[in-house]
Amino acid sequence: MGCRQGLQGYCVPMPETSPRAHRPPTRVVDLGRPTRGDDTPVNPPITVSSTYVGTGEVASGARAYGRYSNPTWDPFEDALARLEGADVPALLYGSGLAAIASALDLVALGGTVVMPAHTYQGALLGAQETARTGRFNLVTVDIADTQEVIAAMRTAVEDTASLTHERPVLLWIESPTNPMLEVADLPTLIEAAKASGAFVVVDNTFATPLLQRPLETGADVVVHSVTKYLAGHSDVILGACVPADAPIREALLHHRSIQGAIAGPFEAWLGLRGLRTLALRVERSGDNAMVLARRLEGHPAVRVIRYPGLRNDPGHERAAAQMDGFGAIISIDVGSAAAADRVVDQCRLWTPATSLGGVESLVERRRRHTAEPATVPDGLIRLSVGIEDVEDLWDDIRAALDVLEA
């Protein structure tokens, strides 16, 4: 990855400034820096140009034009790939959903996509709408039920046996899922997918590469809503695909160049800037989430709590085995939409807003989105735990929940 020549047809000197031996908290700070020299900047510049000088034949992936490439993307794409353990650069997109649409488009015409019933609602909605056009078949599964997923995948492989296109079956995994926090058995599902010839994409938004690296387990593509933890400050919409190898990257790059769902240079730069503090933010928000989850578990207004860090959570053992931490999203069910709305209304420090993964704590009743599946409880509140002082967060959410007991 030191130089992109051959892969993309142009060369960006990207020295291995951060040896693999360095630990992730070092690498998020050190990756994607410009080559050192006297008076060189420590940060990469923002390149604002829609076109590039040239007269030669424009091959696939050439710099050439601002929809194909921008030097501002390169250091972030390089850093993200290395953090996920990929051998080729990642690809930035204008949003997480643009990256997801591009990854979904890898499945063969007439193929089958097997997807968690509780995957991020935007991804599910997009897949459902595409499936209705006949582009592919969509099968939804309980991603925590390993046998059900494997059975669905096997059936899909048999059903698509006559297809000659590449990638007839795409297994879509999200773990932990948004907002139900179900945990998939990643090693088992990925191994089963490989054995049956299915292609695997993992949405790694909740975990980030600091807590989970699905490519190392054999996944073909990792997708991110960079908007969330990677950028981390609720000030940018950005997405990424992290392909495992060059042919998949080539297919995604072609799609991105043609469809045009590219990132703006300033947004890409903000994403890399946010990445610098990822390790600190993931650690602090994860510690906060663990403290809050233990206390919320004992609050009388909380009927059900899901947080993989809790010992008796259904996903705990899997998460402990395959993740390096449990993340900072908690969901609680307070029984009804009215009760959940009252809790959210009472919050003063927690901000009532959708999204997650920023430095500030957010709280939201998920079913306020009418597209959220009806199997997500009406009274489910998703908590995105930030990096504030945990006692202030607790005082605020406890007071809000206490109102239901009064």
Ligand X SMILES: *Cc1c(COP(=O)(O)O)cnc(C)c1O
Binder among 4, 228, 255, 365 for ligand X (CB under 6 A) = 228
- Of 95 and 234, the one with the shorter C-beta distance to ligand X is 95
- Kindly state whether residue 102 participates in binding ligand X, applying the rule CB under 6 A: no
Name the segment binding ligand X (CB under 6 A); options: 76-84, 146-154, 202-210, 398-406.
Answer: 202-210
**Residue 21 Rama label (left phi>0; alpha psi -120 to 50; beta):** alpha
User: Does residue 367 have an active-site annotation?
Assistant: no
Q: Which of 104, 157, 201, 237 binds ligand X (CB under 6 A)?
A: 237
Which 115-174 residues touch ligand X, going by CB under 6 A? 120, 122-123, 174
CA nearest to 30, candidates 46, 47, 41, 16 = 16
The 70-99 site mask, x for binding ligand X (CB under 6 A), equals -------------------------xxx--
Is residue 205 near ligand X by the rule CB under 6 A? yes
> Which residue in 18, 178, 234, 346 binds ligand X (CB under 6 A)?
178
Strands (E), 163-303: 169-174, 199-203, 221-225, 239-243
Sheet with 380-384, side-by-side order of all strands: 304-306, 329-333, 380-384, 362-365, 351-352
Q: Could you say whether residue 180 binds ligand X (CB under 6 A)? A: no
* Six token digits for residue 267: 């947004």
Binds ligand X (CB under 6 A): choice among 78, 182, 203, 378: 203
d(CA 253, CA 289): 37
Residue 346 as a binder of ligand X (CB under 6 A): the answer is no
Least Cβ distance, residue 278 to ligand X (angstroms)? 16
274: nearest Cα among 67, 89, 32, 97: 32
| DSSP letter assigned to residue 295 | H
- Does the annotation mark 194 as catalytic? no
Bridge pairing between strands 239-243 and 221-225: antiparallel
120 has catalytic annotation: yes
208 versus 225: smaller Cβ distance to ligand X: 225
Which amino acid is residue 295, in one-letter code? R
- Residue 214 binds ligand X (CB under 6 A): no
**CA–CA separation, 143 and 348 (whole Å):** 35
Expressed in angstroms, the distance from the first to the final Cα of the chain is: 60
* Residues that bind ligand X in the complex, under the rule CB under 6 A: 95-97, 120, 122-123, 174, 178, 203, 205-206, 225, 227-228, 237, 239
Q: Could you list the active site residues?
A: 67, 120, 203, 228
